[in-house]
Structure 1
Amino acid sequence: MFKRLKKLLSGTRSYQAAQGGRRGSAMRTMHHPLQSIAASRGTLAARARYLAANNPLAASGVEAWVSALVGTGVKGQAKAGAPLRGILNDAFENWTDEADADGLTDFYGQQALIARRVVIDGEAVAIFVQDGDRISIRVVEAEQLDASYTASLINGNVVVQGVEHDAEGKRVAFHIFDKPASMDFASMRKRTRYPASEVMHVFRREVPGQVRGISWFAPVIVRLNDLDGWRDAQMVRQRMAAMLAGFIVSTDGSAEPGEGDQSGSTVVGGWEPGTLQYLEPGQDIRFSDPAKIGAEVIDFADITEREIAVGLGLPDYLLSGDLSDVNYSSIRAGMVEFRRRVEALQHGLLAFQFLRPVWRRWATLEVLSGRVEATVADALPVSWITPKVHWVDPAKDVRAEIEAVAAGLMSRREAVAARGIDIEQLDAEIAADNARAASLGLTFSTTPPAANDNQPAAQAAA
């Protein structure tokens, strides 16, 4: 009776993946993602940091994401009217050199640092440092945001892993240690409460209600670790197979002692390629005969690397640098999809959580200090120009862009911004070049010839 009832209930599940039995019991589940993130994020970040420092594929994946997200830097371009727009853009570009409170890089270098920490640690934390009417930014370790601090405060606020929320769930403050978590500072660290307006917490939100970020390496850490072990084993096997040695058996009982360190009856080490080793009479030596590395082993390694690339959200050739199986169509299709993913992260993560707060704070201080004569409302609108994306086929892409501008399908400003260039600066340079050429009596062809696939036939007809 019980078996019939169990069979009847299990049959009501329409989704095979939700069924029980032997197959279903082998499937792992995650019922509470927020709790899983809270419990695992620290361990995942620590393991990701180790892999990024020691594993070539992991290091390549980090650099690929940093290059795609930031490159030479995402530049701000004010949306104000003509005179004010140029003033703001020039002032912001001058400020980028003093943006780093530690004085080690500029604003674009800080962007790269934040992107790197988001990929590896899952999150990045930056604090505004204000000195009078001047502002700078200090990027701190994500672990300085005290993940061990979770409490209910007497004012009704709740602190979750160092992030304080009000009764409505809005972030109002961050509890951050003033020094990194190293042995030198363990007894001297002081936790400080920073208002949310002073902190930029950058991470990819994957679950509603998520408080802290999780490493982008989470889906591939096990694969990378297993691949590391497999490669080490293969390397040791190849090294042993390359140890060509000869063995001499003496018939009169005289033999030279074996090289290496004696450990009981075993000689440890001492062999090198080309060694001739004496053996005692009656002694013999044998080696294991491991299987040779065949094509199927290499294919398995390639498949594993592709799985890692997919888990990191990267085209596999960006991870491994292997372009042997890439053609024009495949690399173009892969890059188009990858660029969509990059653009979504640039605007939804990097710009919203870091770049826009920086511009708001900087522009407000520029106006209030009197360095820029404008209202705060006029100075705040801004767009962000991402680095130029290099084309697979520049001739075709440029021609398509020119036709789109001519047909009114895109603006010239949009086309110039896609190249990572400020249109105000570009137009000023073009005007200056034209004026200089005219003053010297120089004439250049600035209009490219129209493309005509039937040009020879047209000439013959003429």
Structure 2
Amino acid sequence: MRRAPRHTPMARHRARAAAMLGAPLVPGVVAPVSRDAGAYRGQLSGYHPHRVTGTGLLSGRNERSVASLRSEDLVANDWAARSLVETMTLNAVGGVGLVPQSAIPADLLGLDEETAREVGNRFEAWWRVWCDEAGFIPGQTCADLQYMALRSVLVHGDMVHVPVMLDTARTGGAFALRIQTVHPERLRTPADLAADPYVRDGVELDELGRPAAGWIANPSPRLAAAPLGGDMAGSSADFRRIPYRVGHRVGLFHCFRPSGEEQFRGEPVITPALKLFRHLSDSLDYELIAQIITASFPLFIKTSDGRQAAEDYFAQLQGGMGPDNGQTGREPVYYQNYAPGQILYGNLNEEAKALVADRPGASWSGFVTFVVRAMGAVAGVPYEALLKDFSKTNYSSARAALLEAWRVYMLWRQWQSRAYCQPLFRMVAEEAWLRGYVTLPQGAPGFYEALPLWTAALWVGPGRGYIDPVKEADANIALIENGLATYGEVLGERGLSVEDVWSVRGYEDRLMHRLAPALAARIAARKAASASRTPAPADGAEPAPTDSDDTAPQGTPTEKEQDDAA
């Protein structure tokens, strides 16, 4: 009888391996390496961040409101915070604000370029008329509104402007549209809506979770003195609900740059560095006070028995005289303060000790510079642009700093043109068309039919300026001649438009030929002579030789050859 084969452990292992050949591996066998960032050990053992809730005393709304209040206080009282906000606002918006350049797409509207340009010019002209009367408060221009809007976003995190329509018969002017500026802290949640999940920090959401309306505190006289910090007293009857959109028009300008998802209110630009601003301000105050004390008190009275001197001093304050020391026959006099330069005589066993002015320390200047650099880095503004200090930089470093700052300024400028200026221009153009100030060409699409096309515009702000105008001009000429840039792009960096510059240049040329023909002839002759000296090479031809040693004409010895011959 034949015996069955024995199934040894090795045989069973081989059989199982053959059965699993080609099968996928079991996942998750090797445990991942532990990350210090997610563990509670070492120096991060006490690092327990928390998320704020929507309700309660320490809610996200209250934290945002407190941060806004602190930022407003720093910008009002601290030199570094004020310099940061003013620098960014001035360079992004400027003193004259952002100016529109109509960019009506003629091909999409079935128009020729000249007709589209004429319609755009009329919209631009009436925009300039409205800019002088734009503010709800008389005297506020559109440039003032733009400046306050961006400054409010930087200081508080968001801006709130309300478009209103006034009767032109009473107020005068060509337009009824006016813009009323509102402090952002008036955008709050009424007390009776605090538990409503669709109202977030003064912003009402629709059924899809999108911002639909804002609740603006509009208290009655009995609540006029109620503080805006903390919970606003009063119910929704003391507020005004303003929808964000009324049809195709803007009902409430509530603009901010979101930095995270599901965000309905903005945050001040200095929020991450707010502690640095505050501590640096206090540190500078303390150092200044120390210097004042050192300069005002050149002598210090040192006593051998400080406890007895203090008791005698308080006895004097209570109306009695200090005890006689038994040696001088007179009562001791204790000085608490004295004027600078005053000479004082101490009591027995007292000596004068001069104060040593050893503050600030040797590393104080470098420390302040580091802190200011860190504060500017939070907003993306270099140290040189923040403090207007280019004393320790060369041309390349200064230009790199200004270009880095210019990117930040352009970011805020483009954001403001999209979120605020373009909707304003569309509202002004609509009223100008409704009032008959601007007429559209016959056969073209209607105004409301192609509203985004008729009101398309580019926004130009103040120019960035040049460190070395000659080098910058040569670089721009090279870019234009090689087809890498346009005249509009180069002029736009200077805050100018092609139409304005060329129209003025054309007028000046005609005026010069009429009033100063000799000057015009000399300029033309100089241009012709310059063109004849440097002829443009033909396509595929070698460039003309220069005056350098390496490309000297044949038969003319170079300086090196002359030196060798000598």
TM range (shorter): 0.7 to 0.9
CA contact (8 A) 2:299 2:354 kept: no
Q: Does 1:309 align with 2:309?
A: no
Q: Does 1:360 align with 2:426?
A: yes
Pair 1:180–1:76, CA change in 2 (3 A): farther
Matched with 2:338 is: 271
How far residue 314 of structure 1 moved from its aligned partner, in angstroms, is 1.4
Matched with 1:300 is: 367
Pair 1:241–1:454, CA change in 2 (3 A): farther
> Which among 197, 208, 217 is matched to residue 168 of structure 1?
208
Pair 1:456–1:185, CA change in 2 (3 A): same
Matched with 1:193 is: 241
> Which among 56, 69, 73 is matched to residue 46 of structure 1?
69
Letter in 2 for 1:142: P
> Where does structure 1 lack aligned partners over 5 or more consecutive residues?
1-10, 250-258
Q: Does 1:239 align with 2:286?
A: no
Pair 1:32–1:282, CA change in 2 (3 A): closer
How far residue 275 of structure 1 moved from its aligned partner, in angstroms, is 1.3
Pair 1:204–1:410, CA change in 2 (3 A): same
> Which among 178, 183, 187 is matched to residue 141 of structure 1?
183
SS of alignment partner, residue 473 of structure 2: helix
Matched with 1:209 is: 262
Matched with 2:25 is: none
How far residue 107 of structure 1 moved from its aligned partner, in angstroms, is 0.5
SS of alignment partner, residue 343 of structure 2: strand
How far residue 353 of structure 1 moved from its aligned partner, in angstroms, is 1.4
Q: Does 1:430 align with 2:505?
A: yes
Matched with 2:560 is: none
Matched with 1:78 is: 102
CA contact (8 A) 2:298 2:355 kept: no
Matched with 2:15 is: none
How far residue 171 of structure 1 moved from its aligned partner, in angstroms, is 2.0
CA contact (8 A) 2:40 2:46 kept: no
> Which among 273, 279, 297 is matched to residue 226 of structure 1?
279
Deviates more, 1:85-94 or 1:184-193: 184-193
Matched with 1:103 is: 138
Measure the CA separation in 2 of the matches of 1:272 and 1:454. 76
Matched with 1:8 is: none
How far residue 41 of structure 1 moved from its aligned partner, in angstroms, is 1.0
Measure the CA separation in 2 of the matches of 1:203 and 1:180. 28
Matched with 2:523 is: 445
Measure the CA separation in 2 of the matches of 1:206 and 1:34. 18
Deviates more, 1:299-308 or 1:44-53: 299-308
Pair 1:268–1:326, CA change in 2 (3 A): farther
Give CA-to-partner distance per residue, 1:174-200, whole Å, 9 cap, x none.
Answer: 111247999745389941111212111
How far residue 161 of structure 1 moved from its aligned partner, in angstroms, is 1.4
Deviates more, 1:236-245 or 1:440-449: 440-449
Matched with 2:386 is: 319
> Where does structure 2 lack aligned partners over 5 or more consecutive residues?
1-30, 105-115, 168-174, 227-232, 245-249, 304-312, 323-332, 441-445, 535-544, 557-566
Identity of aligned pairs, percent? 23
Deviates more, 1:311-320 or 1:219-228: 311-320
> Which among 49, 66, 85 is matched to residue 62 of structure 1?
85
How far residue 380 of structure 1 moved from its aligned partner, in angstroms, is 1.2
Give CA-to-partner distance per residue, 1:373-417, whole Å, 9 cap, x none.
Answer: 024235311111121110222212222212222222222222222
SS of alignment partner, residue 161 of structure 2: strand
Pair 1:181–1:337, CA change in 2 (3 A): farther
Letter in 2 for 1:121: H
Measure the CA separation in 1 of the matches of 2:508 and 2:83. 41
Matched with 2:488 is: 413
* Aligned pairs, number: 439
Letter in 2 for 1:327: N
How far residue 113 of structure 1 moved from its aligned partner, in angstroms, is 0.8
Pair 1:101–1:248, CA change in 2 (3 A): closer
SS of alignment partner, residue 431 of structure 1: helix
Measure the CA separation in 2 of the matches of 1:46 and 1:152. 24
State the structure with more CA Rg.
Answer: 2
How far residue 140 of structure 1 moved from its aligned partner, in angstroms, is 0.8
Measure the CA separation in 1 of the matches of 2:413 and 2:77. 27
Measure the CA separation in 2 of the matches of 1:381 and 1:263. 78
Measure the CA separation in 1 of the matches of 2:162 and 2:302. 71
Matched with 1:125 is: 160
Pair 1:363–1:151, CA change in 2 (3 A): farther
Pair 1:336–1:277, CA change in 2 (3 A): same
CA contact (8 A) 2:130 2:428 kept: no
How far residue 419 of structure 1 moved from its aligned partner, in angstroms, is 1.6
Measure the CA separation in 2 of the matches of 1:296 and 1:267. 38
Pair 1:372–1:270, CA change in 2 (3 A): same
CA contact (8 A) 2:74 2:82 kept: yes
Q: Which has the higher strand share?
A: 1
SS of alignment partner, residue 208 of structure 1: coil
CA contact (8 A) 1:146 1:175 kept: yes
Letter in 1 for 2:98: V
CA contact (8 A) 2:300 2:355 kept: no
Deviates more, 1:396-405 or 1:144-153: 144-153
Deviates more, 1:38-47 or 1:131-140: 131-140
SS of alignment partner, residue 193 of structure 1: strand
> Which among 315, 335, 346 is matched to residue 402 of structure 2?
335
Pair 1:364–1:460, CA change in 2 (3 A): same
